[in-house]
Each structure stands twice: as C-alpha cells, then as structure tokens.
C-alpha cells in the first residue's frame, strides 16, 4: 500500500463522515470553536495571548472547505467530490 493510497483512504473517510453529518442536518454553522477561544489565551506558553475571533474562523473554514473540494456555503462535500472519491452511493 502506497502513501498516496493511505491518504486517499483518509480523504474518503473524512468525506463519508461529513456526508453522514450533512444527512443529519449539520452545516457550516456547526463547525465552531467554544466562545472562550475568541479571548486571548492565558499563560506563558506558545499560545499565550492567542485568540481566534469568529471572523477569522469563518475565513479559515472557507479556505479549508475550498481545499477539501466542499461547498463553501454549507461545508459539505459536493456531489463531484464524492464521485471523484468513488462514493457515488452516498449521492444516491
């Protein structure tokens, strides 16, 4: 088994999980972080002072969904992406 085949298995798995969640009504709005992440983190480590404002998260989601080949409005796999991965049975 090659590295490329292993990566493809992982991609298929992730897309199947997203498709299942879409069937259950999950959308982009459900991909969130807890509110406490919007405030600067306390402490002295490498994450001290780091915050993740909700607008930044929205931008990151758009980038991620685009790279994944998903619909940027819903955050769900597109029909084309599922077909590309040989997951046509999910579309039907």
What percent of the chain has a predicted confidence (pLDDT) above 70?
A: 100
DSSP state of 70: B
We find that the CATH architecture of domain 3-87 is Orthogonal Bundle (1.10)
pLDDT of residue 47: 92
> What are the domain boundaries of the chain?
3-87
Instruction: Taking residues 57-67, report their average pLDDT.
Output: 97
Question: Quick check: 29 and 54 in contact, CB under 8 A?
Answer: no
In angstroms, the CA 14 to CA 27 distance is: 15
Q: For the segment 9-57, what is each residue's pLDDT rounded down to a tens digit?
A: 999 999 999 999 999 999 999 999 999 999 999 999 999 999 999 999 9
> Is the pLDDT score of 92 beyond 90?
no
pLDDT of residue 91: 87
């Amino acid at each position: 088994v090659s590295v490329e085949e292993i990566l493809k298995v992982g991609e298929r798995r992730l897309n199947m999980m997203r498709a299942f969640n879409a069937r259950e009504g999950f959308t982009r709005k459900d991909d969130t972080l807890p509110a406490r992440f919007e405030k600067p983190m306390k402490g002295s480590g490498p994450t001290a002072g780091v915050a993740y404002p909700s607008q930044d998260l929205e931008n990151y989601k758009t980038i991620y969904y685009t790279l994944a080949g998903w619909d940027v409005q819903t955050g769900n796999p597109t029909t084309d992406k599922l077909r590309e991965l040989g997951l046509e049975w999910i579309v039907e």
